[in-house]
Amino acid sequence: MAKMLTLRLPDGSTKEVPVDSRPRDVAESIGRRLAQAAIAAKVNGQVVDLDREFLSIPLTPPSPPGGEGEGTGGDAVPFQVLTEKDRDSLDVLRHSCAHVMARAVMRLFPGVQLAFGPATENGFYYDIDVTPPIKEEDFPRIEEEMRRVVKEAEPFERFERPTNEARALCEDLRQSYKVEHIDGDLKQFPTLSFYRQGEFIDLCRGPHIPHAGKVGAFKLMSIAGAYWKNDSSRKQLQRLYATAFFNQKDLDAYLKQAEEAKKRDHRVLGKQLRLFTISQSAGSGLILWMPRGATVRGLLETFIKEELLKRGYEPVYTPHIGRLELYRTSGHFPYYRDAQYPPMYFHPAGSALDLAQHRLAAGVLDDAKQQDLARYMELTRLDVPGYKEAKTGEQRLEAVHRYILGVLDAMSVELPAYREASTYPERAQRLLAWLSEQEGYLLKPMNCPHHIQIYKAEPRSYRDLPVRLAEFGTVYRYEQTGELSGMTRVRGFTQDDAHLFVTPEQIEAEMRGNIELVLFILSTLGLQDYRVRVGLRDPKSNKYVGSEENWNNAERTILDIVKNVGMNYTPEVGEAAFYGPKIDFVVRDCIGREWQLGTVQLDYNLPERFQLEYVGADNRTHRPVMIHRAPFGSMERFVGILIEHFAGAFPLWLAPEQIRIVTISEKAVDYARAVEKTFRDKGFRLSGDYRAEKIGHKVREAQLEKVPYMLVIGEKEQAAGTVAVRDRVDGDLGAKPIAKVLEDLQREVAEKRLRQISIGTAGLADTGAKYQD
């Protein structure tokens, strides 16, 4: 009799199955409808084919889902049948559709070489090499062929081969990139898997949908250039982007959303509305706020500052740089140095040796890491002679070592300890010791260490706690050039940061207060649709600081709190900050896209690293706990998201220009100027368009600039002491007395009212035809 395996189903019950059975058998035993709806299965956290035998699935011990604590089932393996409803299924579908696309392309274009073809957040791509290159005009043909493949609904069949045979098979298939991939990253595996669909065979880890008929709807989107293995020194390929869904309705909704997103792109609107700019002379990824954008940001900052005052926060200011020593204590340096601007040393040899030390300490690297570091060295202009030409890891280290000796000699640094060391790790160690004695500074990657120094500046008693220190603090991270994007991925950004220093008893109330604050702020801006993610540490990773006990404590507390608050949440392993677990608010904007915004983090570790104390009621010293939180995250990112959320049409209270006065006749200009002054004196931000242009033209211009209100003034209005009001949302409201308009608009601002034009027509509701003359 076959050996048995115990599965734990999502409802907590268990099921014994033979190890040579398949997920499909389990689905069928549960119900025929489930089996029909099944796309794939999740076994022990791993998504697998329905027809994969359990015994062929490597079953490492299940990692706990982060203190969920149901704890039943003993050694049972978590098992779930995935249907269209599960997000994982969509990835499986999309990667399967990538095979369908590759198959169609190979039928139509002989000699196609395939590289990689993964699923992405919004679809999938396949990198291919073919001459002549594919053009977008070819898409209808390719889609036609894909439809044929889908209609035939042939199964995806998995098979394995020992690695040398797999290589031979790829050679037979004339797929040279696959061969190269096997010779590189895959040679460490004893066997490799393939998927066959009709005549099409692809080296592939899977998993796949049972048959191509499950692909409900797909569309080819675009073509871009992409380097083989993302390495710019290798061959450039064509990347075919596409997307797929289980049904046409979902695809249509996605395409509509993508079109809407394009209209709202903050990089386009930011330029058009003169909100911000990025200058290569000032530096990539560094936002220059133009007056209109700065106005929006200032208003948001004031909004938060007022709210914080009410909630017992105290403002602080801290500088943009800090001593390396400070970040060594906090753990930000050197752990995260790849993500930071290089440090500044006083010693002229400091910077060069610092980078070289970093490279030496990294040792012999795998391909991916080697590429990363080489790029980093290039960016930071660490030019090590002989490094690029070096073939092996050892040769690279030797080149760095020779370079270091050269720097030491040129700068007359004796450092016998380094010269006497005989191994690379030893050399790295000794160089680090020397560097640690040098005075150096870092652009600050986070505000916490500075706020901690303010906490430490005076003795604290339990009566002073909680201490809540708030600052719009600007921090710097060195994002890779390719990852930079408008305001949402930048190298310098200002966090709406605060740090709370609390007693253990105060944690829950303060965390709740912060959750409430985040939700209040988001709902004020019309971002009420959110989900909560609890970021926990990945026990297998070494990027976290602090003791097991601290982490367990913090994770238990944070999970208790989200449960007590009654929020729906998903725990996510590996999403914690390096010092503690966190709660992230993932917000859905008005066209259904998700953005990670506010964060609240619980930290037992930095207080320990910095030896923070307070005197308790018992007259003894105790250690406070820290809460880090930022409701917006960063001003840059948040404003970028708001631009897209509002399609550039900010609500009245946030609009950089709230009112535009538009004259119909030159004779009314004096009256119009007087009206302008009246509104300005009441604190409104406005301008007057008194040019002798046609009124229709002036109105359209104000509409394009998304000004919420226009006050149109001609001789008639002058005679009656009124203004004709044009509302961005409701259109023409007719003539009204000035006092009434003032009162209405003041109320709209005070209430921070959100009045948006419905989706799809934002800013285009009215063409101003009424004023055409």
Binding status of residue 597 toward Zn ion by CB under 5 A? no
601-630 positions binding Zn ion, by CB under 5 A:
628
Identified binder of Zn ion from the candidate list 204, 353, 519, 562, rule CB under 5 A? 204
What the block records as the tokens of 331 is 């753990």
In the annotation, is 497 catalytic? yes
**Cα–Cα distance for residue pair 146/440, rounded to 1 Å:** 59
In the annotation, is 95 catalytic? no
In the annotation, is 448 catalytic? yes
Q: What is the number of the residue whose Cβ is closest to Zn ion?
A: 204
Query: DSSP code of 18?
Result: E
**Cα–Cα distance for residue pair 423/610, rounded to 1 Å:** 33
Q: Are 645 and 529 in contact (CB under 8 A)?
A: no
430-469 positions binding Zn ion, by CB under 5 A:
448
Closer residue to Zn ion in complex, CB, 204/710:
204
348-387 positions binding Zn ion, by CB under 5 A:
none
Closest CB 366 distance from Zn ion, rounded Å:
23
- Which residue out of 477, 556, 588, 680 is catalytically annotated? 477
C-alpha angle 310-316-318 in degrees, rounded to nearest 5: 155
Size of the site for Zn ion (CB under 5 A): 3
Closer residue to Zn ion in complex, CB, 50/525:
50
What the block records as the tokens of 323 is 């001593």
- Please name the amino acid found at residue 759: I
Closest CB 102 distance from Zn ion, rounded Å:
8
Closest CB 199 distance from Zn ion, rounded Å:
16
Closest CB 270 distance from Zn ion, rounded Å:
28
Q: Are 331 and 578 in contact (CB under 8 A)?
A: yes
Instruction: For 352, list phi and psi in degrees, rounded to 5.
Output: -65, -45
Closer residue to Zn ion in complex, CB, 453/767:
453
Q: Where are the alpha helices (DSSP H) in 421-490?
A: 424-437, 448-456
- Please name the amino acid found at residue 354: D
Instruction: Name the 3-class secondary structure at 374.
Output: helix
C-alpha angle 553-558-561 in degrees, rounded to nearest 5: 125
Closer residue to Zn ion in complex, CB, 443/525:
443
In the annotation, is 170 catalytic? no
In the annotation, is 495 catalytic? yes
- Which residue out of 113, 340, 495, 601 is catalytically annotated? 495
What the block records as the tokens of 193 is 């898997």
627-656 positions binding Zn ion, by CB under 5 A:
628
Q: Is the dihedral of CA 421, 425, 431, 433 positive or negative?
A: negative
Binding status of residue 178 toward Zn ion by CB under 5 A? no
Strand duo 659-663 + 686-689: pairing: parallel
Q: Where are the alpha helices (DSSP H) in 525-566?
A: 548-565
In the annotation, is 208 catalytic? no
Closer residue to Zn ion in complex, CB, 7/104:
104
Q: With contacts defined by CB under 5 A, name the span among 15-23, 203-211, 351-359, 713-721 that binds Zn ion.
A: 203-211
Closest CB 626 distance from Zn ion, rounded Å:
7
Closest CB 474 distance from Zn ion, rounded Å:
14
Q: With contacts defined by CB under 5 A, name the span among 201-209, 313-321, 509-517, 645-653 that binds Zn ion.
A: 201-209
Q: How far apart are the first and last CA of the chain?
A: 91
Binding status of residue 662 toward Zn ion by CB under 5 A? no
Closer residue to Zn ion in complex, CB, 201/223:
201
- Which residue out of 202, 497, 589, 603 is catalytically annotated? 497
Closer residue to Zn ion in complex, CB, 396/628:
628
**Cα–Cα distance for residue pair 474/453, rounded to 1 Å:** 17
Residue (of 360, 458, 343, 368) closest to 405 by Cα position: 360
In the annotation, is 582 catalytic? yes
Give residue for tokens 């303060």.
510
Closest CB 204 distance from Zn ion, rounded Å:
3
**In the complex, which residues of this chain contact Zn ion (CB under 5 A)?**
204, 448, 628
Active site residues: 448, 477, 495, 497, 499, 582, 628
